[in-house]
Each structure stands twice: as structure tokens, then as C-alpha cells.
Structure 1
Amino acid sequence: MNALIASSHEAGFLPLTEIGGKASNLAWLSDNAFPVPAWSVLTVSAFRQQLRSEGIDAWIEQCIARIDSKDPASVADAASRIQDRILAMPLDAEIRVAIADVIAGREGVRFAVRSSVVDEDGDAASFAGQMDSQLYCLGQEAIEKAVLVVMASAFNERALIYRLHRGVSLEHIQAAVILQEMVDSDVAGVMFTAHPVTGSRRHALISGTWGCGEGIVSGLCVADEFTVELDGSTIDSTIQEKDTYLVMHDGGHGTVEREVEERRRLQPVLTTEQIIALRDLGKQVANLKRFPQDIEWALKDGELYLLQTRPVTSLPANTSVKAHPLVWDNSNIQESYCGVTTPLTFSFAQRAYTTVYTQTLRVLGVREEVIEAHRGMLENMLAFVRGRIYYNINNWYRGLLFLPSFSTNKEDLERMMGLQDPVDMIQDQTLTFIEKLKRLPQLLRALIRMLSGFRKMPLMVADFRQHFENTYQDFDRSTLHTRSPGELIRLARHLDKVLLDNWTTPIINDFYVMMSNGKLHRFLVKAGISDPGIIQNNLLSGEAEIESTEPTKMLLGMCDYLRERPSLRRLVVNGDNQDMLKRLRHADPNFHALCQEYIERYGDRVMGELKLESITLRQDPGFMFSVLRNFLSRDDLTLEALNNRESALRHETENTIFPQVEAALGRRQRRKFENVLQQCRSAIKHRENMRLARTRTFALYRDIFIEIGNQLAFYGNLDAPRDIFWLTVDELYAWNDGRAVQTDWKPLVAARQAEYQGYHDEEPPHHFITHDVPYLHNEYRYPHEQTIDEDASTLRGIGCYPGVVEGNIRLIFSPDDELNLNGQILCTVRTDPGWAPLFPTAGGLLVERGSTLSHSAVVARELGIPAVVGVPGLTAILKDGEAVRMDGAAGTIHRCASELSGEADDAA
């Protein structure tokens, strides 16, 4: 084998470093018997020998080294000087002989002379169009001159700038030169086996023009385009008016531009048969390469030729993929996991949902093999996008298929979860009679067990709460520091079994809430009650002994104690939160004991209470004293006043609506309506009461994980104790079991912290749809997005409790914000049960996210506070201190022209 030149067959045995990318790909095409015009390649050894022949190789490296990548002029200067030197050289004698051997016996055959740079046509950089090609070269002299031009073009300005832009080294540039028989084509062009515009990997894009393909590559000629399915027959053609084309120059060397005859200007350059044949060739290349290809082709006298192939180096997002649409929504769950959430919290919540809903299917009588078949659904009830937790709505709807009356349950679920954007991609199954018979036993089992659970709910709730209380009392927080990390993980797994594996009662009750609430709504609509949503809210207000309001009531009772002791009250009002608990121990042991009792009972009920990373009153009791100070600013805010306020609207609405239902539907239906109402009230009460158990369960796990973090930081596995929140539960369990795939956690934590830092500066929409992989080529946009009008005079949401309030807005997003409301209107993005102690001093409540059954709405009704939830763009539009007039019945907020002074005047 000649070291300076290789035939197409010989080239297949040479390394890429010797023949460059383009020749390597040509050798592959030839070896696989694709129709490639005959060719040979002058090797990189020939290129180096040419530069050494007059000793300019070292000089070129010096010129390259002096290039300033930030100075385009220095690139242009170096390129010009290097090319001039190369073109001024005679071609090495041995190379001339090698060329003569190639063209011997091929008189009249014209050649294309092209570069094949070592870095060219690779996976990362194609160098397409960066080096020169010489076409229609005839005879020894023309080919020799073309070889020098191509060698010099490896150093042209375009190629050097391309290298700098793509991060390819400028040092030791190596090039081979291809000599290929020229196809004097009738039609030529380029084919991408993956669509470069849509990104579809199932469609090829073929561009073709009359004459030589250089017309497309150079951009001189207009081309027809054909989008064709790789595995189908559909062709989408774009036929252009082709006014010019390139053909061989009359003088023989190079190309010349000619006008296209009028009859061919709008004629497609390819027939359907030719498009399919070309598509099939391209598909064969891509399938063998197992990678999308960029292929140059030519057609002569009905014969197709492949001139080169290279991997596609970039594709846009695949806009044609509409498979696997997934709907994500956090209208409801954002109450529990507000804002950016850490990996530990998400992984814990995801495991908990999987465990609990697996149990629920068992309770409904679903067979084990069916449960296993739906494992993918059960393990993906939740999603994690940009640090926020979302519901996978597709899987929630699929879960409803296990119950009878899918459409009714779907509507009820959407109402309970506050889904503003219901979707229909999961629909009830249309079954044959035989299929219905097969499914009937499962549906009957589910219905019977669910109805039985509804009837036994008071007893089930009592048993659930007692079981939790027993487990909770057995948990000794004070001795966690004495346990090893392995023992702590085993303790967490023990809680998995005794608590999470016995969590079906809250879920069955959630179904009870969903169905009874939906049934109640349909009753009101059937009775012709105007504004049924508002009336339903009013009827559900004023329920006594709801745990979510108990922390507030206990704090109000503590305020009554302080009001009877002026000096103690002054200490709480004027003192520093940081050392208040210590001062109270000496100032009033009885009140100190009350504070400690509150912390023990409700110390985990804080803003973001289900986020394991949240700081609770156990770590910082300051929030409790801020709320007490808030309450003490209102002497009219007492426990007695609150109790009297709770039931007034409820009784007034009952006295109005019960007779209307009876008049419309009859006495029997009225009794049924009252029974459904009582069921709904009871279910909501049970839900709110069991939520405290959920909060305290999370608190037990929080304490375990915090202690693991303390010890891992102590032993140097983490930089800080709270770095534990950047790991996942699965990673901790695997670490304990010997299944960990990474044990050096510090860089992992640092990487996650860096990624999540950017998430705090954005607010993804509450609802969006993704296709294929959620994290790839998807924009998280609200499909019904409307531009927020920051100058809007009136905003609209869902009215949850009536009352007209005029007052100034107080924007609060976290416990670190100013919490003193004193009659101002509390305005925020979302709430959870931990916000409840702030509500009594608010003149009204405005929440950007939420529904009529969301926690903020439930508590507002219990406390008798005018409230509007689900107001799009609320916190982006209203400014802190701005004056508004809100109507809790109509769900409207009117922006006042000027700021109000003093306390809000509740005109309700």
C-alpha cells in the first residue's frame, strides 16, 4: 500500500487519523456496497510531506500559535499568509506520481477534489462548507492545482473560525485529499435522514436541484424539498421555482450558472419513485450507522449515487412527537409542597404516595396481579419539575377507572383538586358486553368496600388516630442522637411499616370528600339554586372541632391569658423572638408550659409543614410569638368571638336554602340533600383532622433525617447537617444496604444545590403538558396562557366565603416576611395548614392558587374570613400595600385608585 495514496478499498484499512473523516465515511459506504463513484485519497502523510517539502510546517504552527481567538483580524491575517505560502509551492514529486497512477487509463474522466480533514465529518463537527472543493477537474495539471487549493483551504479563515467556534484545536491541523470521479448529474442534492427543521427522527428531508449539488451547498440555487416518512409512503413536497442551476463549465474545469428552461422551473426535480428509492438508500445508511445521516447524492441517467455521508451534528427539538402526552398539575398539591422542594422531600412523598395508593387498591379488592400490572401508574402519581412537585394527572384519572361511574368521579376529582383545566385524554373505556361482565366483579367489590368504608368512617378515623397516637408516643426524639445512622434508617423503615403501610383510612375518606362534595354540588344545580358554588361554600362553613383551626384557637386562648397579665403581655409584644422562650421560663412558668405544650402539639404545623427541610417551631419558635403578637394587636379578637363567628353564616344559609331545595325537589329530596350535606361536612372534618397526623408523621421522619445529617456532617460525609435534604430516600436506603452507586456525596450535593438555585427565580405554571420525555424538548407553558395585565382594574377568582372588604394588601410568602396583618388583606401564592394562625388577624384572604376545597378555603370558612382563591397572576399584579376592595362571594378584587389608611373596614 502506497503511504501517500489509498484506493477506496485500501482506505478501509487505514485509521481516521490518516485519511480524515470524509474519506473514512466514503470507505465505509464503499465497503457496504453503496453506489459510490470511484475514488482514491491522498493521505495525511501526503499532506505532511507536502508541508515539509519546503520546510513550512514549523512556520505554520508558529503562525497558528500567534492567533488571538478574540481578534478576527489576527485569524484572517494568519489564514491569508499560510494559504499564500502553500499555493506558491510546487506539488511534491512523489505526490504527483501518486496522482498520475490514479488517473492512468482514465482519459476524459473528470474528478472532484475534496478535503478530508481529520476533525471533519465527525459526531461533534461536520466542517460542512468550510473547506474548498474543486469540481470537474480534468488532467494531471488541473488535478495537481486543485490538490494544492484543497490543502491550503484547511487553513482558510472560515475553517479556522469554525474551529474556534466549535472548540476544535487549531494545533496540528491535518488533512487528506479525496480524488473522486465526477458525476455530471442531472439532479443532485442533500438528504437528512432525520428532519433538520422539525427534529423528527422518523422523517427524512430531501433537498434537490437541477444540475450539480454545489448549487445547494453554496446556496446559489433554489431547491425543491421533500419530507418523506422513513417507514411510510407519505411525502410532503415543496416545489420551488428553480430559475438557475450549476453545470460543468464550458471550458471544462469548475461550474457555471445557467438559466433553467421555462418548462422545468416548476417541475419537481424528483419523481415519487426516485424520492422513495433515495429515501430507502438513506435509511439503509442510517440504520447501519445507527445514527441520523447527512448525505450528499446525485442522480445521472436514472442512477442514484451517494457522494458522501456524515453524522448529523445537531437537531432541534422534535416538534412532531406528540406521543405519550402527559398532563401535570399542582393546583392542589402545591398547598402541601409550596415552592421549590428538596430531593429528600420529593423522594419521600413519591414513595409515600406509591405505598398508600397500592394499599388503597388492595382495600378496594383489586387482585395482586392487576396491582402489579399497574405498578408504573402507582409509582408515578407525582412528578418533579424544576424543583416543584406536580400531580401526574394521567395516572390520577387512570386510578379512577377502578371505580364505577368514571365520568362522574372524574368531574368530582377535578372539583376537589381545583383543576382549572380538565383534560380528556384518559376516558372511560368502551367495553363489549363480555368485557363488562369480566370487569363487573371488580367494580362491585370496589363499590361495596368503598360504601362500607364510608359507613364505618367515624370508627375508622377513630382507630386510625388512636393507632397514630400510640406510634407517636412511642417515638422518643430525645434519644435519636444515641442511634447510629444505620439504626436511624432502620427506624425510618419501621415507620414505613407501622404508619405509611396503614394509611388507607385518609385515602378512602378523600374519596368520600370527593364524591359527597360532587353529589352536593349536583343537588344544588338540580334544585336550580343560583350561584351553587358560593352556596355550597357557605353550607360547609362553621364546622366545629376541626383540627386545622385548633392551633389558632389555642393561640387565642394563650392571648386571653396574656391580656389578664399586662406585664407578661408587654414582654411578649416587645421582646425578641430569639430568646423569648428562655425569658418566659423565668417570667411566667405557667405560660412557658403553655408554649411548650403548643410546640409539642402543633409545633410541626408551620408554613411548608410537609417539606422535610422546613424549619419548625421545634427548631425556631419565633413564628409562634409573631402570631401571638399579631393577635394581641386586636383586642376584639378573642376565642369567644371566634366561636360565635364560626356558625352564623352556616345557619343563615341553611334557613334559606333548605326550603328552596324542598320547594324545587320535594320533602324527601330535601332530607336526602341534608344527609348528603352532613356526609360532606363530616368527610371534610375527618380529612382536616387526619391531616394533623400526616403533619406529625412527616415531623418524625424529619427528625430522623436531621439526625442522620448531623452525624454525616460530624463524620465528614457531608459539609453541613442540612445537606441531607439534597439526597433522596432511595440513596440513603441504598447506602445503608450496600447498593449505593455513589458514596462521595459532597460533589453530588453541590451539583444539586447549584441546579436548584436557578429554580428559585422562576415560577412554572400550575398546569402544562409534555410529550415523550418530560425533561427533553419540552417547554413548561400553560396551554391557555394569557398575558398578565398588570394594569387590570378588576381581578377574578373563586369566591370561598362571603364578605366585602376594603383594605390594603399585605404580601406574605414565607415566615421571614413581615407577618403583622392587623386587618390588612393577606395575599399570597398558596397556603397550607401552617398558615392558619395568620388568618384571624387578616381582614380578608386572597390566594393565587387553590380551589373551594383547598385548605385556605376550608379554614377561611371555619374562621369566617372573606376569601377568594384561584386568582391567576394575583401576586404579580397586586403590590404590597395596594388598596383593594374584595368580594368573597363574587370572587372579585377591585383595585382602588388610592391607598387606604387605617384598618380595613369589613362591610360584610
Structure 2
Amino acid sequence: MSELPVVTGLTDPEAVDPARTGGKGANLARLTRAGLPVPAGFVVGTSAYRRFVREHGLDVPIGQEMSRLDDDPASVEAASQRLRQAFESAALPEWLREAVEAAYHALGAGPVAARSSATAEDLPQASFAGQQETVLDVAGAAELGAAVRRCWSSLWTTRAIAYRRRHGIGHEQVAVAVVVQRMVPAEVAGVLFTADPVTGRRDHVVVEAAAGLGEAVVSGRVTPDRWVVDARTRSVLTRPDRESAGLPTDLLDRVVGLGVRAAEAFGSPQDVEWAVADGRCWLLQSRPITSLFPLPPAAEGAGLRVYLPVTLAAQGFAEPMTPAGNAFLRTLAGGWVGYWLTGSRRNEHQAAPPWLPTVLGRLFVDITPLLQRPRLADRVISGMRMKDPTTSTALREWLERNADRLARPVGHTAVRRLTRWAPEALSLLAGLVTAIAAPRHHRRRVLSRTDAGLARLEREAARRSTPLTQAEFVDRALPAATLDLITDQLPAVYAEILARAGAEWLVRRWLGSSAGPEPVRRWLPHDPTLAMGAELARLARAHAVAGTEPSATGPDVQEFLRAYGHRAPDREIDLGLPRLAEDPAYAVELIRGYRRAGAGGDALARFEAGAAAARVTADELVAAVRRTRGRPHAIVLRALLHRYRELGGLRERPKFDMVRAIALGRRTLRRVGAALVADGRLDDADDVFFVDPVDLRAVLAGEQRDLRALAGANRHEFEREVGRRAVPRLLVSDGETVYGPAATHTAQRPGVLVGTAVSPGVHEGVVRVLDSPVGAELQPGEVLVAASTDPGWTPLFLLAGALVMEVGGVVSHGAVVAREYGLPAVAAVAGATSRLRTGQRVRVDGGDGTVTLLDPAEPAAQAIPMTPTGAHS
């Protein structure tokens, strides 16, 4: 096989291939072919790099050095120095020297710039900005040869090695070309972003400029002048304060025009380096702006749209979901919204509703119709304040600035909607009356219906004999049936809420106290999440008494899994994530942890004491009312408290049973995955959860699609996105991303982190920062610090002394359960998992929403920025 050409001109058709010319070279070639002004030049191709490495035997030390790498920065630095020295000390072979000299002389033999151009550079998902080197003002063939070797060696800088490791790019996969271009003696130069890299807005162009070479701007050695320009009208929105800024209006307009043309050539927003010499504008480099959060699919003619992240705002987690998990939740959420709009329980959606798009594995919901109506917008903001105060504040601030940009509302009138909803409203009302009148009977009947409904679904899934019908069951039949189960439980949930609210109102009115009923709200008897924790504590105590160790195959653990095995340690609403029944290690780990810490008996005692205290408190409140208000008032209060305790905890049942349905869907879909493995179309049965249901059904119906490649690509994106910490609280269709409220200028007390008070009480203890409940090793009394929590975390609450979360509000799951456990808790502490460290001693005040650092050796860390920024070179 013949070697590829050593040198390729930027005008050659082959130059647009990044495998030959690297990311930077390929992009410059595309700009050239698009007719944009690019300095003349050539590329020393990747084939030359690979041949040089092979002939000098450098692949051996590269392999050795990379195989020995660990997380110690010093070892990475040492490996980098050795590899760079090996490259730069190796002699330039004759075949390379002759080819480079000939191309250099054909270019005019004047001063040139040599820029590294790696194959894994300037990619949409990883720009590698600033990772490799550029050598400017290279004069002479000998100096150019040295510059080529220096660019090659820069593939092995410390920062480039670390960047590839962070993005999961194998070192053996990369090679580097060198772009050589005539030097532009710039009078003024800089960078241009065809979308605002800070706000994300795609209709804004940002230009930064300084006198001289652009290297000073991109390296950060000078503070450039900055303009923000409307991409459509070219009007200047913001400009430098100083009058002597070195970019006249006509030149600014030309630079913006070239940048917009570059973005059109690539079909995506670009980060462009430019320079001006003798009145002529040149483009020196163009790469995708990788820091931008992607746009949701465009809604034709819909005007400006505003989206909220569903799982972050409603469930408190920022991680993505698997394609299978998103598909199920999207269909269920679509049916839920349709139910509230029309009163119909059946979900007729056969495709993803456009107002529930998925972006980077996260489900977003279009709330524009609500924001277009001021009264509804106020209700949304107010209601969200209890669930997620951070998003509530960010939304309010955005509306104050942008409400006039939203289109006028259209759609059905409230009267027509109410008319369609009337039959379901009557059914709900009848159920509510029954639940209040006979709470125990209603509770038992509803839970019996739910169990019977899930049993019917189990039988239906078992009857589906082909992979296609099984996939259709999960994708279409199961979400609609799950919605029926949830809506059937709503009267009981609302009755519990009304009974509690009524009792609290009467206590405030008759006894003048709002804190009196607090113990009654704890250790609710019919909360399945609390029951799961109590069962784990009971098992721990039983093993401690018997002197035995729990085992995943033990009959007691197996019995626990029959009741709770459908749950997951984390993010259990994602159908694609494993259940406890698949891997009981987490449950066994908790039982052992309780036993080692001696907490099994204490935890169970807390349950028993809490339930007894609730009964005693209820009796005391009734007695106090009897003394001060008389027997009739006491009878009314007793009736409400009795109903509340009979229904107490049922608000957790809809999600608990929804997860039971999700577990059924997971088991069914794994059968499909196993069949595809047997057919050789997937490597692992669990890969089926990383295939979009549309693709899955198409293949099962006979279409030819590469499921293995689709699953691999989706899994790679999922694993990459799991590490993303910055997820916008608001995503606007013009690209604007809002990561949180505007920073306040209120002076913060030194050593105090401020959040939202969600569960009263004060606790001093040692911090334990966790990103998952699995393998937590939380010790009794430690302060649990997490980004968020869901039911899978709840067993840890029995050990924790207090809870601190980065997201959430008063009615978020962690807050509600913390109050029921009597656990002090603070939510919405920005950057808590980064600003606190394991082992640090703190005081958590769940009454005023503060976390005070008590460790004098550890000053309070600065708040992490909420908006991602990019780097340039």
C-alpha cells in the first residue's frame, strides 16, 4: 500500500479530510473552498507524522509512557517531557525535509505560521482549543523543520494528554498534521463567536479585538475590546467603553459578515480567529463552539420558546437518562399533560410530542403557553418555588427581561377546557369524598386495584411472544396503563393533603400554633419508602441478634426483594438503569452497614418511637382543643387527624407503583435485548436500553439498521453526559441558556453557605460528600451532602445526622422525607458537593437554611461559576 502524500495544499480536494490534515487543516480547507479569505498554505499530513513515528521507533516509548499513566499530575508531566524530548531531538528524514522545503519555497519562502492540527481537534464535541502549539514568524526551511517537530511533539503536552483522557479519546487513535501558512502581519486581530458563548444566544455575534497579532487575544495576555452584534440586523448591541477601540464600524461589519459565512459553511456556530492587514480581513482558524448547549428541535412558526429540564426541575437530578428511559417517561408525561388538559386518561401519542424534546439525554418541556399568560406564569413561578426555588427565581428574572418577546397566546378557552374535563372532575370528586368518608376502606380498595392492575400487565407482557410485540408493549401499552394506575390513586392523595391541611389550619386557629402538628407528619404509616427503610432496619437488627451476615440469596433478603426489588439505588424513573432485584448488593450493603454501625436496632426504634410519638401528639392536640374549645371542636380535629394518618404516606404510592411498572417494562425489554443478542445484532442484552424505540421497532419490523452502532453511540453520549454538572435551568429556542439566578451582591457571612431551609433542626457533624448511594459507607451522625436525592437514597437518611442538597425546594423528595424523619435539611446550596469536603465539620441549620463551616483549617471555598466558559488558542 502506497504512502499518502507528505504535503497537501489547502486548495486540494483531499485537504478537507481531517484524517489527512487534522481538524484545523480540514476546517481551513473547507473555508478556502467556500471562497472565504484564508492565507495561502499547505499541510504536512498525518501520514508524515505516522511515518516519522514508525521510522524513529517512537511508537514504543509512546505506548510505554501511556500505559504507565496514573492520576498523579507529576507522572503525566514527566511522561510529557520525555516524549516531547524524543520528538524534538529526532533527526528530520530526507523525504520529509525535501517535501517541506519544496512546498515552502512554492509558497514564497517568506515568514510563515506553523499550526498543529490533530485528528481529534476542532471537533463538535471537543475543540482541543489550546492543547497543541502554534509557532509564528517562522523564517527559513531549517527553522520550519524544527517548527514541524515542535508541533508534532505538542501532541504530547501535559494538557493535551489530560484533555484526551478526560474526553475518553485513546492516545493510539490520534495523529497530528501541521498547517503552514503565510504569516499575516496583523494590524488588528482577534476572535469572533457566531453565537454568544456565555449566554448561548445564536442570534448574537461576539467580536473581540486588539492591536497586533491575535495570539495576544486568544492566549489571554491582553484584555481585548468587545462588541456584541445582532446577527440578523448587524446592529451593535454593546461596544467597548473606550473611544479609541481599533475596529471601525465598516471593518467590524466585514469581520461579522465573514464569521456568519463561516458558520453557514460549517452548518454550526463557529469560533473564528481573524486578522486585518493592509485593510484586508483574513480568517486564520475556525472551530465549533463546543461549550454551547444544543438547541431543542425547532418548532416551525412557533416564535420564541422556553423549555425547562423535566428531571432537574421535578426530580432534582441533572444526569441524563437512557434512550429507553426517556422514551417511557416522555410518553407517560405526554399522557399526564393530556390528562390534565382534556380529562382523558388514555395516551394516544404514537410519536414524541414536540413540546417534550430530548436534548443530550435530558427531557425538556416547552412551558411557553403558560408563560404567555401572565397569571399562569405567576402561578408557575409560585408553584415551582416550593419544588425548585433556584429555577423559580431564574424564570422570574428571565420573564422580567423578556416577557415582551413572547408571542401572544392562542388556543382553547378555559370554558371549553373545563367542559371537556367535567366528567373526569366528577369522578375525582366522588373518589375524594369516598376517601374522606371512609379512608381505610378507600385505601385498601385502591391499593388492591393497583396490585390487580399490575398483575394483569404482568400477564399481558408474558403473553407477548415476539420481540416486536414485546417492544410495542413497553413503548405504547405500558405507559398508558401506568397513567391509569396513577390517576386512580389521585383521590386518596388529595384526601391526604386536604386532611393534613385542614388539621393544621384548625390547630393554628384554635390553639394559635403552627408547629404543634409537626410530629404527626412524621413516620407516616402508609409511605412505601419509609416502609422499605424500616424493613432494612428490621433485617439488620435480626441479623445482629442472630450473629449472622446477610446474603443476597438469603430468604429474608429475597423476601425484601419481592416487595422492593423493583426500586433502584438512584434515578429509579429511568427504565434503562438496573433494579435492586438484578443486583441486590446495595440492599445487602445497607443491612451490613446498619449492623456494623449498630444502627439497625436504633433505626427500627426510631420508626417505632416516631409512630408512637405521632399518635401521642395527635391525642395531645385533641385534648388541648377539648380543654380550650370544647368537645365538638375536638371531635372535628380528631376526625381529620384520624383520616390523615389512615391515608398518611399515600402521596408516595403513585411513584412507587409507577416504578413497579417501569421495572416490568425493563424486564420485558431485556427479553427483547436477549433475542437481539441471539440474532447477533447486539453484543449485550442491556444494549437494548440505549436504542431509541423508533429504531428498535423499525429493525424488529424488518428494516436494516445497525443496532450495534446506534447503541454504541448512544451509550457513549450517555456516559459522557453523566459527568456534565452544568445543565441549564432554562433553555430558550434562540440558544440562550440560564444556569441559575443572577448573582446577588448581598454580603455573605464568611464560612457560611446559604440555601433553602426545608426541614427544621440543627445538627453538627462531619461531612460525607456522595455522588451515589451505592458504596456510600455513611456513618451514623454524618452530614449527607449530595447533588440531589430520590427514594433510593432514603435508607441512608436513617444514618445521617443532616442532609444538604445542591438542588430542590420545600416539596422536593429529599425535603419531604427529611421532615418525616425529623432530619435537619438544607436544599439549593449551589455547588455544595464541590464547596464542602468529606471529613469537614459543619453545622446544618434546617430552620434558617445555612451550613456553617466549623473546621478552622478549611476556609469556605468560593462558589463555583454556574455558566460554562470556553478556552481558545
TM-score by length of 2: 0.59
CA distance, structure 1, for counterparts of residue 655 and residue 753 of structure 2: 35
2:573 to 588, 592, 610: 610
* Structure-2 residue corresponding to 1:232: 234
Question: Corresponding residue for 1:344?
Answer: 324
The 3-state SS of whatever aligns with 1:732 is helix
Q: 2:784 aligned to 821, 824, 827, which one?
A: 827
Matches within 5 A, 1:657-676: none
CA drift at 1:518: 13
Aligned to 1:764: 725
1:798 partnered with 2:757: yes
The reply on whether 1:853 has 2:853 as its aligned counterpart is no
In the alignment, structure 1 residue 456 sits paired with structure 2 residue 417: no
Provide the secondary structure at the position in 2 that maps to 1:574: coil
Distance of aligned partners of 1:156 and 1:544 in 2 relative to their CA distance in 1, 3 Å threshold: closer
2:613 to 601, 625, 645: 645
Structure 2: 5+ residue stretches without partners: 1-8, 16-24, 43-50, 59-82, 124-131, 156-174, 218-222, 296-303, 436-441, 857-873
Higher RCO, Cα 8 Å, sep 6+: 2
Q: Is the 8 A contact 2:193 2:259 kept in 1?
A: no
Q: What per-residue deviation string (whole Å, max 9, x for no partner) do you get for residues 562-593 of structure 1? A: 6xxxxxx6785413414422xxxxxxxxxx6x
Q: How has the CA–CA distance of structure 1 residues 319 and 675 changed in structure 2, closer, same or farther, with 3 Å as cutoff?
A: farther
Q: Is residue 362 of structure 2 the alignment partner of residue 414 of structure 1?
A: no
Alignment pair present for 1:580 and 2:554: yes
Question: How do residues 282-321 of structure 1 correspond to structure 2 at under 5 angstroms?
Answer: 312-314=285-287
Determine the structure 2 residue equivalent to 1:620: 584
CA RMSD of aligned residues (A): 7.3
C-alpha contact (below 8 Å) 1:489/1:733 kept by paired residues? yes
**In structure 1, how many angstroms separate the alpha carbons of the residues matched to 2:763 and 2:99?**
83
Out of 313, 337, 354, which is 1:376 matched to? 354
Give the structure 2 partner of residue 902 of structure 1. Answer: none
Aligned match of 2:471 in 481, 489, 492? 489
Query: What is the rounded CA distance, in whole Å, between the counterparts of 1:208 and 1:812 in structure 2?
Result: 45
Rounded Cα–Cα distance in structure 1 between residues aligned with 2:146 and 2:539: 80
Partners of 2:29 and 2:840 in 1: how far apart?
71
Amino acid at match of 2:573: L
In the alignment, does 2:657 pair up with 1:689? no
Residue from 502, 505, 515 that aligns with 2:484: 502
Q: What is the aligned partner in structure 2 of residue 58 from structure 1?
A: none
Alignment of 1:251-400 (within 5 A): 275=251, 312-314=285-287, 328=309, 333-334=314-315, 342-363=322-343, 375-377=353-355, 379-380=356-357, 392=364, 395=366, 398=369
Shift of 1:870: 1.7
Matched with 2:413 is 439
What secondary structure is seen at the aligned counterpart in 2 of 1:545? coil
Matched residue, 1:137 = none
Q: CA deviation at 1:455?
A: 2.2
Decide whether aligned partners of structure 1 residues 168 and 188 sit closer, same or farther in structure 2, where only a CA change above 3 A counts.
Answer: same
Cα separation, 2, equivalents of 1:754 and 1:691: 29
Cross-structure match for 2:697: 733
Report how many aligned residue pairs link the two structures.
Answer: 737
Distance 1:602 1:14, change over 3 A: closer
> Which of 822, 831, 837 matches 1:865?
822
Q: How has the CA–CA distance of structure 1 residues 597 and 153 changed in structure 2, closer, same or farther, with 3 Å as cutoff?
A: closer
**Greater shift after overlay, 747-756 or 850-859?**
747-756
Q: CA deviation at 1:375?
A: 3.8
1:621-653 deviation line (CA, Å, top 9, x unaligned)? 872795497575349829764532333445656
Could you tell me which amino acid in structure 2 is paired with residue 607 of structure 1? P
1:472 Cα deviation (Å)? 1.8
**CA offsets 1:432-465 (integer angstroms, 9 cap, x no match):** 9x98997342464488678646523446987875
Give, in whole Å, the separation in 2 of the partners of 1:277 and 1:791.
Answer: 47
Partner Cα separation in structure 2 for residue 163 and residue 884 of structure 1: 50
- Percent identity, please: 14
Distance verdict in 2 for CA 1:327–1:361, change over 3 Å: closer
For the structure 1 residues 528 and 78, does the alpha-carbon distance in structure 2 shift closer, same or farther, using more than 3 Å as the test?
farther
C-alpha deviation, 1:616, in angstroms: 1.7
Change (3 A) 1:341 1:365: closer
2:210–2:246 CA contact under 8 A, matched in 1: yes
| Matched residue SS, 2:825 | strand
Q: Indicate how the Cα distance of structure 1 residues 766 and 77 shifts in structure 2: closer, same or farther if over 3 A, else same.
A: closer
Output the amino acid matched with 2:562: E
8 Å CA contact retained: 1:224, 1:268: yes
Specify whether residues 473 and 579 from structure 1 end up closer, same or farther in structure 2 by C-alpha distance, changes over 3 A only.
Answer: closer
The 8 Å contact of residues 193 and 286 in structure 1, kept in 2 or not, is answered as no
Asked whether the 8 Å contact 1:577–1:622 carries over to 2, the reply is no
Contact 1:851 1:857 in 2 (8 A): yes
In structure 2, the CA distance between the partners of 1:734 and 1:161, relative to structure 1 (3 Å rule), is same
Equivalent pair of 1:477/1:703 in contact (CA under 8 Å): no
* Structure 1, unaligned runs of 5 or more: 1-10, 45-60, 96-110, 134-148, 179-184, 217-221, 241-265, 300-304, 563-568, 582-591, 899-908
Q: What residue is the counterpart of 1:472 in the other structure? A: 454
Q: Deviations over 1:645-680 (max 9, x none)?
A: 3334456568889999x9xxxx99x99999999999
CA distance in 2, matches of 1:735, 1:277: 51
**2-structure distance, mates of 1:516, 1:446:** 25
Separation of aligned partners in 2, 1:838 and 1:399: 38
The Cα shift of 1:496 comes to 2.3
What amino acid does structure 2 have at the position aligned with 1:868?
A
Amino acid at match of 2:549: G
Indicate how the Cα distance of structure 1 residues 672 and 441 shifts in structure 2: closer, same or farther if over 3 A, else same.
Answer: farther
Asked whether the equivalents of residues 202 and 229 of structure 1 are also in contact (C-alpha less than 8 Å), the reply is yes
AA partner of residue 234 (structure 2): G
Q: Mapping of 1:519-598 within 5 angstroms? A: 540-541=521-522, 543-551=524-532, 573-581=547-555, 598=560
In the TM superposition, what whole-angstrom CA distance separates every residue of 1:217-271 from its partner, at most 9, and x where no partner exists?
xxxxx9999876663343877699xxxxxxxxxxxxxxxxxxxxxxxxx989887
Change (3 A) 1:486 1:652: same
CA contact (8 A) 1:403 1:443 kept: no
Q: Secondary structure at the match of 2:784?
A: strand
Aligned-partner Cα distance in 1 for 2:455–2:523: 31
Native 8 Å contact 1:402 1:443 kept in 2: no
Residues 523 and 610, structure 2, Cα contact 8 Å, conserved in 1: no
Cα shift at 1:779: 10
SS of the residue aligned with 1:614? coil
* Deviation of 1:697 (Å): 0.8
Query: Cα 1:86–1:716, aligned 2, differ >3 Å: closer, same or farther?
Result: closer
Partner of 1:7: none
The answer to whether the 8 A contact 1:727-1:749 is kept is: yes
Post-superposition offset of 1:489: 1.9
Report the residue type matching 2:468 in the other structure.
G
**What SS does the aligned partner of 1:313 have?**
strand
Correspondence for 2:871? none
* Aligned-partner SS, 1:232: coil
- Which residue matches 1:633? 601
Q: CA deviation digits over 1:694-727, x for unaligned, max 9?
A: 1211121122133334444455444444444444
Please say if residues 577 and 625 of structure 1, whose CA atoms lie closer than 8 Å, have aligned partners that are also in contact. no
Residues 809, 880 of structure 1: 8 Å contact kept: yes
CA distance 1:786–1:556, shift in 2 (3 Å) = farther
